[in-house]
């Protein structure tokens, strides 16, 4: 990770940049740059909003470097500090190797860490996968600042891991490869991981997951990652992420236009892997389990058909109305598996429905479920940390839409309330365990770069939200286990 935190200023490397952080009126500036910045503000060449950047060339030839200023308003929030860091990253010319940022004493060390996080995550990855982010050094170290900076580094690396996994094309990331990468990511930080193969899935009775996978020549996997251990007074939390490595739609095949983006249908899985890795690196005193059902949804001679009836792990039968509604099928078995662990909370993330984008646009993830405490926490944390979620209701009427005629359930309930009926389908598979469903179809990837944390391609949405939530759970006093658990 190319983020550093230092107490004293270092010389600016050739081909680098040195910037100061100032308020909207130029307060906090020192040296010769102050006069130039104040003049630029007076001439309105430099704005006074958070994230405004002014770069001034210095030197010539091989000794050339940049000097400048980054505007951060007086009572900036964490979201504004991250935005400022991202705007700085996007304003810098390509080819810079190092950036030195002199932090203002008017702003806290925590904001410096958030600014660094925004800088690290605020640009799209290179086309060839090579990380070209300049080294960022922030001057103004304190013990608390160093801790905040170390935490920001962990979060940034975990989000980047999720983005990398989400962006991998189907020919480079099969279900087996996704499982291998997830296990490697956990073991590299002292966590645990295993992958259940097709034989094990059949033994568990995961007919819904296997039905989706049978059209592909690539075998499915159920990835199980773990951080910590289940001990008395320490809750078990299960995170479930949809891992469709490529989604053609199956027999109910998708239109050709835009189908290449279906490599992103594993972004829920990517977020869970990133969050588990971060939890392990931060050594959170929790037992956290990540479950990723990994499949490829393809048409073929063995593919399941509309009208087929499959039996899920918990015994419920499902009529397949549309093979392109495959995510809920694999989640049904993954959630049933999660219930066996007797968790205090289950949270699942899935690029489940296009209806989520129609309902909420690309600003929010849809949130539904039965875990009122977690839903309230995620809504607050999402707004605070830049990954907003919006709750949609569950109800008897929408649940009826998912009832089958030749089976217990059907996997599609019609056009109305698509995001809600998708969650209603999942609800019977969690029993009485407190459960939250995040439909991230609208925010998991974006080609517009409209938000600082939404680069072109996979966004890594959900990693930071989950980690902040897990940190709050870890900080709670001793948890009483529910009766019967």
Tens of pLDDT, residues 42-89:
888 888 888 899 888 887 777 778 888 898 887 888 899 998 998 898
CATH number, position 288: 3.40.630.10
| 58, 91, 120 - which closes a domain | 120
Which has the minimum average pLDDT: 91-100, 238-247, 319-328? 91-100
Q: Which residues of 259-276 are buried (b: 16+ CB within 10 A; e: fewer)?
A: eeebbbbbbbbbbbbbbb
Tell me the percentage of the chain whose pLDDT exceeds 70. 91
- Domain match, 167 and 116 both: no
Per-residue confidence band for 11, with pLDDT thresholds at 50, 70 and 90:
very low
Domain that holds residue 61: 15-120
Handedness of CA 166, 168, 169, 175 (dihedral sign): negative
pLDDT in tens, 136-179: 888 875 677 778 888 999 999 999 999 999 999 999 999 999 99
| pLDDT band, residue 298 (cuts 50/70/90) | very high
Residues 74 and 179 in one domain: no
**Residue 12 above 90 pLDDT?**
no
Take residue 262 and report the two structure tokens written for it: 């279906």
Q: Do residues 310 and 317 make contact, with C-beta atoms less than 8 angstroms apart?
A: yes
Residue 455 and residue 314 share a domain: yes
SS (H, E, C) the chain: CCEEEECCCCCCCCCCEEEEEECCCCCCCCCCHHHHHHHHHHCCCCCCCCCCEEEEEECCHHHCEEEEEEECCCCCCHHHHHHHHHHHHHHCCCCCCEEEEECCCCCCHHHHHHHHHHHHHCCCCCCCCCCCCCEEEEECCCHHHHHHHHHHHHHHHHHHHHHHHHHCCCCCCCHHHHHHHHHHHHHCCCCEEEEECHHHHHHHCCHHHHHHHCCCCCCCEEEEEEECCCECCECEEEEEECEEEEECCCCCCCCCCCHHHHHHHHHHHHHHHHHHHHHHHCCCCCEEEEEEEEEEECCCCCCCCCCCEEECCCCCEEECCCCCCCHHHHHHHHHHHHHCCCCCEEEEEECCCCHHHHHHCCCCEEEEECCHHHHHHHHHHHHHHCCCEEECCCCHHHHHCCECCCCCEECCCCCCCHHHHHHHHHHHHCCCCCEEEEECCCCCEECCCCCCCCCEEECCCCHHHHHHHHHHHHHCCCCCCCCCC
Domain end (from 64, 92, 120): 120
Please indicate, yes or no, whether residues 67 and 188 belong to a single structural domain of this protein. no
Asked if residue 213 and residue 82 are part of one domain, the reply reads no
**Annotated catalytic residue 311:** no
Which of 328, 362, 454, 464 is the catalytic position?
328
The reply to whether 381 falls in a domain is: yes
**Are residues 115 and 168 located together in one domain of the fold?**
no
| Tally of domains within the chain | 2
The reply to whether 462 falls in a domain is yes
In a domain, 355, yes or no: yes
Last residue of a domain, one of 98, 120, 142: 120
**Mean pLDDT along residues 197-217:** 98
Catalytic residue, from 34, 146, 180, 254: name it.
Answer: 254
**pTM for the full predicted model:** 0.93
Other Cβ atoms less than 10 A from the Cβ of 381: the count is 21
The pLDDT tens digits for 93-131 are: 887 888 888 887 778 888 899 999 999 998 765 555 556
Are both 398 and 341 inside the same structural domain? yes
Question: Is 328 a residue of the active site?
Answer: yes
Specify the pLDDT at position 479. Answer: 45
């Amino acid at each position: 990770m190319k983020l550093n935190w230092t107490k004293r200023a270092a010389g600016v490397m050739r081909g680098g940049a040195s910037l100061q952080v100032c308020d909207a009126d130029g307060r906090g500036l020192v040296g010769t740059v102050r006069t130039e910045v104040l003049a630029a503000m007076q001439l309105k060449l430099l704005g006074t909003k958070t994230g405004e950047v002014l770069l001034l060339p210095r030197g010539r030839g091989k000794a050339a470097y940049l000097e400048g200023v980054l505007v951060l308003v007086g009572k900036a929030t964490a979201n504004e500090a991250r935005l400022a860091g991202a705007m700085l990253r996007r304003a810098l010319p390509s080819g810079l190797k190092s950036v030195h940022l002199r932090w203002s004493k008017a702003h806290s060390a925590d904001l410096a860490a958030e600014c660094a996080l925004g800088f690290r995550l605020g640009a799209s990855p290179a086309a060839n996968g090579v990380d070209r982010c300049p080294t960022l050094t922030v001057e103004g170290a304190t013990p608390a600042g160093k801790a905040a900076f170390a935490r920001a580094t962990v979060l940034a690396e975990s989000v980047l891991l999720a983005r990398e996994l989400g962006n991998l094309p189907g020919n480079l990331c099969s279900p087996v490869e996704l499982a291998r990468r997830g296990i490697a990511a956990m073991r590299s930080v002292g966590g645990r991981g295993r992958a259940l193969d097709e034989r094990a899935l059949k033994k568990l009775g995961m007919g819904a997951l296997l039905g989706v996978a049978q059209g592909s020549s690539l075998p499915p996997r159920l990835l199980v990652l773990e951080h910590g251990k289940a001990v008395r007074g320490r809750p078990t939390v299960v995170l479930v992420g949809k891992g469709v490595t490529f989604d053609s739609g199956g027999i109910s095949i998708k239109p050709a236009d835009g189908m290449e983006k279906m490599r992103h249908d594993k972004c829920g899985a990517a977020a869970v892997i990133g969050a588990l890795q971060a939890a392990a690196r931060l050594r959170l005193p929790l037992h956290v389990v990540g479950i990723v059902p990994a499949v490829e949804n393809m048409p073929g001679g063995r593919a399941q058909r509309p009208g087929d009836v499959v039996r899920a792990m918990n015994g419920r039968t499902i009529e397949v109305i549309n093979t392109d509604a495959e995510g809920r099928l694999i989640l049904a078995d993954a959630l049933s598996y999660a219930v066996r662990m007797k968790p205090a909370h289950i949270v699942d993330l899935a690029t489940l429905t296009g209806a989520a984008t129609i309902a909420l646009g690309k600003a929010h993830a849809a949130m539904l479920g039965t875990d009122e405490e977690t839903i309230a926490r995620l809504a607050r944390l999402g707004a605070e940390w830049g990954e907003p979620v919006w709750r949609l209701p569950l109800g008897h009427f929408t649940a009826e839409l998912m009832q089958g005629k030749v089976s217990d359930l059907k996997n599609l309930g019609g056009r109305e309330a698509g995001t809600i009926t998708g969650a209603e389908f999942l609800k019977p598979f969690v029993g009485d365990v407190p459960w939250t469903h995040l439909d991230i179809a609208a925010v998991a990837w974006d080609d517009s770069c409209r938000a600082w944390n939404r680069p072109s391609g996979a966004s890594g949405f959900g990693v930071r939200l989950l980690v902040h939530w897990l940190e709050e759970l870890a900080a709670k006093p001793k948890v009483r286990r529910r009766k019967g658990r």
